[in-house]
Structure 1
Amino acid sequence: MAATAEEQTVPLVEELSLPILLAERVIKTAHEAESSKQECSELARQVDRLSQMLRSTVRLAATSTQPLYEPPVRRIVADVAKNLDRALTLVRKCKHSGVLRQVFSITSTADFRKVSNLLESSIGDMKWLLSIFDSEGANLSLPPIASNDPILAWVWSYTATIQMGQLKDRTDAANELASLARDNDRNKKMIVEEGGIAPLLKLLKEGASAEAQIAAATALFNIATDRERVMFIIESLGVPIIVQALGDSSPRVQILVANLVARMADLVPEAQEEFARENATRPLVSTLSMGTVLDDPKLQSGKTSIHSLVQIKKELTKNGNAPSRNNHNTSSLSLGHSHSGSSHSDGSSRGGHYNKKEREWETESPEVKLQVKVSCAEALWKLSTKSLVNSKKIAETKGLLCLAKLIEVERGELQFNCLMTVVEIAAVAESNPDLRRAAFKTNSPPAKAVFHQLLRVIQEENNPTLQIPAIKAIGCLARTFPARETRIIGPLVAQLGNKNVDVATEAADALGKFVCPENFNRVEHSKALLEFDGVPSIMKLLRANDRAQMTGLVLLCYLALHVSNSKALEQARVLTALEGAARSVAAQNPGLRDLFAKAIHHLTLYQDAAHPHRQPYPM
């Protein structure tokens, strides 16, 4: 067990003083014994050896150039004090002889043997304790105190080495802790309780070598598998260290650190806020954009006025990015790697650090470059999920432009992670008008790039894993598109007939957001849906699974409210379909009762006018 908070507040030297004083009292009392003198003398010899070891520990704590790793010291010293107290009780009984001895107590050889064995165990514990501070690497022998739990001794030894050892030994020990943490939750919990997090964070922060940082990041990643342990890393002030490593480390290290960010953000919403406070999205976007040329529509010839060119030049000069006179290729921009001391709002950076990162990037293998981008994209995905502040930060940089470019040119996991990041930002923007207006204004270059890629995925990809999130993103942004924007409606209507029911259902759900009562342009969007002949496909959805049926019925209700005089609705017998489903829907979803009643009423009014003898359907 780890020391309690109260125990940890007692200075270590003060805690060591108690058993040293106890040892002196035991030795003095043993020398004054009037009975069992030989046994008392042997105990005094053992206690004297313990006293010397305790004093060596005090000297070590006082002279060490770095803080001593305390958990095993406190645990063993507490056990030593308990055994010394038992020894003191025993030798006190030997101060009397004759009748007084019989009156006060009776000691036996068994009593001395028992206490002697306890003291010998304490000597073994102290010997082991001193060895883990003196040895080159981790000491894998078992102290008596951990004889029934070898993992505890290993955790102590590895953690002590990480905190106090040489670089190679620290790296090896961190790898061993990572291996232990990978095995089971008990080991993870033990590493946290025995103070393993702080030394790992320190190793990550120092950046002494890529191997050491990788070992530390891997161990932290393996430990951070539940809310409690993630919160412990946060409370240990780990987030600033992790973000610093994201910006300063080599690509191989960034892979592991980005994976750690993704896991922490996925498990704990508070972690998202902490990472936002440290602006973690900046180095992630910057790394994601390494080696990627981002076309900037503002700089395309033939589409830029003289005034806008002047404004762009002013903006670039203001940011310190004035183009060289010899550089005529200004039609594209490439993002550099960010750094806490030289980063800018677009994630770019300059100077020696920038050159160093560029050189590191160029020397890495294509496999490493791909994996670091995959990991960074996943981290952005998890950070932006239901997080307004992180979504804003990504949109404020060239994040959306970068994500759109990678969705266009990449395939596989990287493309998917970038797409999911866009989906999550769109989902946040759906309920936040300010973000929606700032990030997805339809005439802004990043928004145009994102919309273009979402539509391309919907129309050209034949993979539901990509189509469904792309459709979902478009649906979340339905209130962004003006009434004249019919190029969005057409691809969605086309997907209503997709052979994959999930794709078709997602398309119906997205279209529902275009024509729902909350959408200002609902009537124009409803007319566009009819013009693309979407009603027959919606009717086919009613014969699919329950989710598809419900989504299709709700979409038909919206159309009935806004374009109830449409011949397409009458020819498809939408009124009959809604009447047939009304009772079962009302029973299963009482919240939809009013929607169905209004839709049926609208259609009945129109169709009664066209067919005077038709009887209205009672709800």
Structure 2
Amino acid sequence: MEEVRRIGDELSFSLLTAESLRAAADEAESFKAECGEVGKQVDRLAQMLRTLARLVSGSVQIYDRPIRRVVVEVRKNLERALALVRKCKRHSIIRRVCSITNAADFRKVINLLESSNGDVKWLLSVFDSDGDGSFGGGISISLPPIATNDPILPWVWSLIASIQMGRLQDKIDAANQLGSLAGDNDRNKKIIVDEGGVPPLLKLLKESSSADAQIAAATTLGFLASDQDKVTAIVNELGVPIIVQVLGDSPIRVQIKVANLVARMAEHDAVAQDEFARQSVIKPLVTLLSLDVFLDDMQSSKHNSIPSLVQMNKEIGRDQSHKSYKSYTSSLSLYRDTGGGTGSRTGPYHKKERENENPELKHELKVSCAEALWMLARGNVANSRRITETKGLLSLAKLVEKEVGDLQYNCMMALTEITASAELNADLRRAAFKTNSPAAKAVVDQMLRILKEVDSPTLQIPAIRSIGSLARTFPARETRIIGPLVMKLGSANQEVAMEAVVSLQKFASPENFLCAEHSKTIIEFGAIPSAMKLIRNSDQKVQLQCLILLCYLALNASNHDCLEQAKVLTAALEGADRVVGFQNVEFKELVSKAIYQLSLYNGGSHSQMLAYV
């Protein structure tokens, strides 16, 4: 209402100026014909301004952006015309000589007033009243004079006004058209955000009873969420709580678009990541992703007794209050009735719709939820911890095992981000990836399966990276991890081989408490010949990483027979003088330490090489 009052004040001031201009035109003593034309223009303009003022005063949800822009220009043009017409009154001879007025001045003023008439007429076409106090908010395809140099602007104004003030079908059509504009280029997205397009889209998403309207709003917001500034605009309009609410209380086809929106916002803005976590978006995402997975496990189990179901609850990390069969089944019932959320107003409808939904749509929902979890976990330790505190790890691992395509890839990337966070955070590593944890074991098993059975660099690279991130969690006896990594040193795909080298470094790094034991295992699996081959046949980046790995092995297992037989020191020196990284002080120091360590165990043959360095 305060906004409406301010617009009303602007319109009132413009009307007063128009009345003053009309009176001045009637009192003109010179250029009477021109002043008469000005008066006609002002009469039409004042009539339309009064109509516009009535529309504004009768609406509680007026879209004010174009009104403000137009009214400011109208007032400027009226004031300029008033200043000119006042010169045409009877004055002394001296004043008439000092204030020279000609017909060209009037032509300019009349053109400005014609433009103002066109602008206000366009506003009335956008804010069209149905005659019963409600506004149609029709989409205007005309071009107002104020936006001749930028035709996109009035189109955006018209669409936003329709979303905010129109009938339901008009809102849907306008939201879809706004999404098409946003999808064209970044400039259109900026105009939509700057002109206040986000609040009506969020309102449409939240309050609409139409799934089509919610889909249109979520899709358009997804297009807008293309960089940090635009995502921040959505967050600042309190969009995150609305998005989370709709995710938990909507039909599947709406949930797909909303999950995609979560993914886009989390991808571009760390603040959005944290805000989504505060609004508890992770739990419904994991639930939507994993419910069918665990229902399948229950149906396929040969022991559907109460104790076995209780044990399943323990394994998937459910809360203590849900560790009984009664709680488990009641929670599943709640999920089915609410579509994955609580407080649903249309639970039975969602239940029936979900049961009759085609498998492709359910699969698409899982793809979107997996991507959202991936983006929420990316570079965010706190969100990774929240995912592990649900049954998220086990769900992701099972889907990596059972699925293919985008769903498998998104789940794999989510696990890669979680393991990367575990590498950085010791508390998360100890809590989520304990050796005896079923979820951690499932994750590692799937990573190893990918390395052994799946011939796809797209999946192998994140699998290798995940194993490397967990290097500190493996005991010395866990030798089954090392073999597949060493095998990948010989991969035809250089990026896969590079990732394998980096992961093996994390096992052999002095920062790993078991580096000595792991280094011996790496050597025994034949890593040295493969590493030397990579040095000979790869680019400088891979050569550098291979040399670092060989230095770690030399430092940790310098008395191992394989080092002398393979002449690792010679390979390191021959490679080092060709690698750009050799100029790096830290790398040069590492090579020197490795040479010195080997010289202690291999004596004379290496002393001359030490002098060479």
Normalised by the size of structure 1, how large is the TM-score?
A: 0.87
Q: Structure 1 587/503 Cα, relative in aligned 2: closer, same or farther at 3 Å?
A: closer
TM-score w.r.t. the length of structure 2 is 0.88
- Quote the Cα distance in structure 2 between the aligned partners of 1:575 and 1:566: 13
Could you tell which deviates more after superposition, 524-533 or 15-24? 524-533
The CA deviation at 1:49 is 2.9
Residue 120 of structure 2, aligned match among 126, 134, 142: 126
8 A contact 2:599–2:606 mirrored in 1: no
Deviations 1:531-590 (A, max 9, x none): 333333233222221233222222221121122111111111112222333444563332
More displaced 10-residue stretch of structure 1: 202-211 or 36-45:
36-45
| Contact 1:124 1:143 survives alignment (8 Å) | yes
Shift in CA distance, 27/518, structure 1 to aligned 2, threshold 3 Å: same
Question: Counterpart in 1 of 2:49?
Answer: 54
Offset, 1:117? 2.9
Mapped to 2, the partners of 1:46 and 1:349 lie a distance apart of 59
Aligned to 1:151: 152
Instruction: Measure, in 1, the Cα distance between the counterparts of 2:166 and 2:521.
Output: 70
Q: Which of 511, 533, 541 lines up with 1:547 in the alignment?
A: 541
Shift of 1:487: 1.9
Work out the CA distance in 2 between the residues paired with 1:350 and 1:39: 68
Q: Within 5 Å, which residues of 2 pair with 1:47-196?
A: 47-64=42-59, 66-96=60-90, 99=93, 102-103=96-97, 105-134=99-128, 136=136, 137-196=138-197
Any stretches of 5+ residues in structure 2 without a counterpart?
130-135
1:319 aligns with 2:321: yes
How many residues are aligned here? 596
Aligned to 1:437: 430
Query: Is 1:19–2:20 an aligned residue pair?
Result: no
Q: Cα offset for 1:497?
A: 2.9
Contact 1:156 1:194 in 2 (8 A): yes
How far does residue 524 in structure 1 lie from its aligned partner after superposition? 1.7
Shift of 1:40: 3.4
Q: Contact 1:13–1:58 at 8 Å: present in 2 too? A: yes
Q: Give the partner amino acid of 2:405.
A: G
Q: Distance in 1 between matches of 2:595 and 2:5?
A: 76
Q: Is the 8 A contact 1:579 1:600 kept in 2?
A: no
Whether the 8 Å CA contact 1:378–1:418 is kept in 2: the answer is yes
Higher mean C-alpha deviation, range 486-495 or range 583-592: 583-592
What is the SS of the residue equivalent to 1:518? Answer: coil
Q: Partner amino acid for 1:486?
A: T
Structure 2 CA distance, aligned partners of 1:261 and 1:537?
A: 43
DSSP-derived class of the 1:94 partner? coil
Q: Against the structure 1 CA distance between its residues 480 and 107, is the aligned structure 2 distance closer, same or farther, given a 3 Å change threshold?
A: same
Compared with structure 1, are the counterparts of its residues 334 and 614 closer, same or farther at alpha carbon in structure 2 (3 Å cutoff)?
farther
Structure having the larger proportion of residues in helix: 2
For the residue of structure 2 that corresponds to 1:141, the secondary structure is coil
What are the superposed Cα offsets for residues 81-113 of structure 1, whole Å, 9 maximum, x if unpaired? 111112211221232168477345354444444
CA 1:114–1:155 in structure 2 vs 1: closer, same or farther (change >3 Å)? same
Matched, 1:400 2:377: no
Unaligned runs of 5+ residues in structure 1 are: 1-6
Q: Deviations over 1:34-72 (max 9, x none)?
A: 4444543443343233223222222222221x3211111
Structure-1 residue corresponding to 2:132: none
Partner of residue 286, structure 1:
287
Q: How far 1:325 moved relative to its partner?
A: 11
User: Identity, % of aligned pairs?
Assistant: 55
1:176 & 1:521 partners in 2: Cα distance? 60
Stretch deviating more after TM superposition (130-139 or 408-417): 130-139
1:30 matched residue in structure 2: 25
Residue identity in the other structure for 1:466: L
**Cα distance, 1:257 vs. partner?**
2.3
Map 1:406-555; keep pairs closer than 5 Å. 406-545=399-538, 546-555=540-549
- Which residue of structure 2 lines up, in the alignment, with residue 598 of structure 1? 593
Aligned 8 A contact 1:71 1:195 in 2: yes
Partner SS for 1:488? helix
Residues 160 and 200 in structure 2, CA contact (< 8 A), matched pair in contact too: yes
Distance in 2 separating the partners of 1:613 and 1:321: 64
Counterparts in 2 of 1:613 and 1:511: CA distance versus 1, 3 Å: closer
Instruction: Give 1:323's aligned amino acid.
Output: Y
C-alpha change, 1:309 and 1:26, in structure 2 (3 Å) is: closer
Instruction: Give the Cα separation in 2 of the matches to 1:52 and 1:173.
Output: 29
Per-residue CA distance 1:300-355 (angstroms, 9 max, x = gap): 979x999x969959x9795356315998xx9xx9798599xx99xxx886988766
User: Displacement, 1:29?
Assistant: 2.5
Amino acid across the alignment from 2:508: V
Compared with structure 1, are the counterparts of its residues 357 and 453 closer, same or farther at alpha carbon in structure 2 (3 Å cutoff)?
farther
d(CA) in 1 for partners of 2:525, 2:431: 30
* Alpha-carbon distance change, 508 to 369 in structure 1, aligned in 2, over 3 angstroms: same
* Deviations 1:112-146, CA, capped at 9 Å, x for gaps: 44323322222222122112111643011122222
1:476 deviation in Å? 0.5
Shift of 1:253: 2.1
Residues 1:365 and 2:366 aligned together: no
| Range with greater deviation from structure 2 (561-570 or 486-495) | 486-495
Q: 1:348 to 1:131 in 2, by over 3 A?
A: closer
Q: Give the counterpart letter for 1:557 in structure 2.
A: C
Superposition deviation, residue 615 in structure 1:
4.8
User: Does the CA-based 8 Å contact 2:249-2:344 persist in structure 1?
Assistant: no
Residue correspondence of structure 1 range 223-262 to structure 2 within 5 A: 223-262=224-263
Alpha-carbon offset, residue 398 of structure 1:
0.9
